[in-house]
Amino acid sequence: MLIVCPHCATLNRVPDDRLKDAPVCGQCGQEILPAAPVTLTDANFERFIAKSELPVLVDFWAEWCGPCKMMAPQFAQAATQLQGRAVLAKVDTDANPQVSVRSRIRSIPTLALYRGGQEVKRQSGVMPAQELVRWVGA
């Protein structure tokens, strides 16, 4: 399984049976499948989405957005539950306008699920953690 390190963007090969063993990056030594959402930016979004062989669920959000603040703990809880099966990531739309425009983000929070580098699902609005877990698995 190919996994992009969320810290240094190095591509790591991890055997499928080791995904639950907290694998670390061969370059920077940090955990590549953290139990918390990773931060994506204009600089690393495309590589992370395109190269990750695990599904990537992205929460497009903004600091000033009330529903986004309600969504944050639900998203973090889902990241813990999906660790090793999917990567959950967050993109601050104000700080990363290029990826927000390329992704055609019209409202926030918006969730987009990517598999094999392609967007396969999109949902706007707040979603509870259990529903997020089901949504990624469906």
Whether 8 is a known active-site residue: answer no
Edge-to-edge strand order for the sheet containing 87-92? 38-39, 87-92, 56-61, 110-115, 118-124
Task: Map residue 82 onto helix, strand or coil.
Answer: helix
Q: Where are the alpha helices (DSSP H) in the chain?
A: 45-51, 66-82, 97-102, 129-137
Q: Are 81 and 129 in contact (CB under 8 A)?
A: yes
Whether 65 is a known active-site residue: answer yes
Place of tokens 């926030």: 108
- Positions annotated as catalytic residues are 65, 68
